[in-house]
Amino acid sequence: MEIFLSREMSHGRRILSEDEAMHCVKVLRHREGDIISVIDGEGTMYRCRITSASARAVEAEILSSEADWGAHPYRLRLAVAPTKNTDRYEWFAEKACEIGVDEIIPIIGARSERKIFKTERIRKILTAAAKQSLKGAVPKICEPMSVRDFISGVGAQPEAQDGAAASAETASSEACLNGKGSSRAEEPLKLIAYCFEDESHPRISIKEALERYTGLEVTVMIGPEGDFSPEEAQLALSRGFIPVHLGRSRLRTETAAVTAAEAAYFRWME
Amino acid sequence: MEIFLSREMSHGRRILSEDEAMHCVKVLRHREGDIISVIDGEGTMYRCRITSASARAVEAEILSSEADWGAHPYRLRLAVAPTKNTDRYEWFAEKACEIGVDEIIPIIGARSERKIFKTERIRKILTAAAKQSLKGAVPKICEPMSVRDFISGVGAQPEAQDGAAASAETASSEACLNGKGSSRAEEPLKLIAYCFEDESHPRISIKEALERYTGLEVTVMIGPEGDFSPEEAQLALSRGFIPVHLGRSRLRTETAAVTAAEAAYFRWME
What digits encode the pLDDT tens for the residues B41-93? Answer: 999 999 999 999 998 889 999 999 999 999 999 999 999 999 999 999 999 99
The CATH number of the domain holding residue B244 is 3.40.1280.10
**Interface predicted TM-score (ipTM) over 0.95:** no
Q: What is the pLDDT of residue B176?
A: 59
For residue A153, which of A171, A180, A182, A174 has the smallest C-alpha distance? A174
Contact indicator for B176, B160 with CB cutoff of 8 Å: no
Residue A262: list chain B partners with CB under 8 A.
258-259, 262, 266
Asked if A57 and A170 sit in the same domain, the reply is: no
Top pLDDT among B41 and B159 is at B41
- Residue B175 has a pLDDT of 53
If asked whether residues A248 and A190 sit together in one domain, one would say yes
Same domain assignment for residues B99 and B214: yes
A116 and A196 belong to one structural domain = yes
Tell whether A239 is within 8 A of chain B (Cβ). no
Same structural domain, A14 and A137? no
Q: Between A175 and B270, where is the model more confident?
A: B270
Last residue of a domain, one of B47, B66, B85: B66
Residues of chain A with pLDDT under 70: 154-185, 197
- State residue A183's pLDDT score: 47
Verify that B200 and B144 share a domain, yes or no. Answer: yes
> What are the tens digits of pLDDT across the range B213-230?
999 999 999 999 889 999
Range of the domain at B8: 3-66
A234, A163: one domain? yes
**What is the C-alpha separation between A69 and B158, in angstroms, rounded?**
45
B13 touches chain A (CB under 8 A): no
Low-confidence winner among A197-201, B166-170, B194-198 (lowest mean pLDDT)? B166-170
Whole-angstrom Cα distance, residue A242 to residue B101? 29
Task: Indicate if B204 and B143 belong to the same structural domain.
Answer: yes
Give all strands (DSSP E) within A8-159, no chain letters. 8-10, 13-16, 35-39, 45-53, 58-66, 75-80, 103-108, 140-141, 145-146
Domain co-membership, B21 together with B91: no
CA atoms of A105 and A223, how far apart (whole Å): 12
pLDDT at B96 over 80: yes
Distance of CA A145 to the CA centre of its chain: 15
Q: For the domain that residue A27 is a member of, what is the CATH number?
A: 2.40.240.20
Question: Which among A205, A259, A269 has the least Cβ separation from residue B247?
Answer: A269
The pLDDT assigned to A115 comes to: 77
A247 touches chain B (CB under 8 A): yes
Enumerate residues 116 to 145 of chain A having a beta carbon within 8 A of any beta carbon in chain B.
Answer: 132-134
A100 and A265 Cβ atoms separated by less than 8 Å: yes
Q: From the candidates B94, B95, B197, B203, which should be mutated to test the interface with A, based on the most A CB atoms within 10 A?
A: B95
pLDDT digits (tens, 9 = 90+) for B5-52: 999 999 999 999 899 999 999 999 999 999 999 999 999 999 999 999
Domain boundary (A42, A66, A90) is at A66
- How many structural domains does chain B have? 2
Nearest to A32, CA basis, from A52, A61, A6, A56: A52
How far is it between the farthest Cα atoms of chain A? 66
Rounded to the nearest angstrom, the minimum Cα separation between B58 and chain A is: 28
Domain end among B66, B90, B115 = B66
B100 touches chain A (CB under 8 A): yes
Residue, of B264 and B165, whose pLDDT is higher:
B264
Calculate the average pLDDT of chain B: 89
Of the candidates A182, A206, A227, the residue with the CA atom closest to the CA atom of residue A77: A182
Residue A10 φ then ψ, to 5°: -150, 125
Chain A partners of B195 at a C-beta cutoff of 8 Å?
A: none
**CA–CA distance, A112 with A105 (Å, rounded to integer):** 14
The pLDDT assigned to A74 comes to: 97
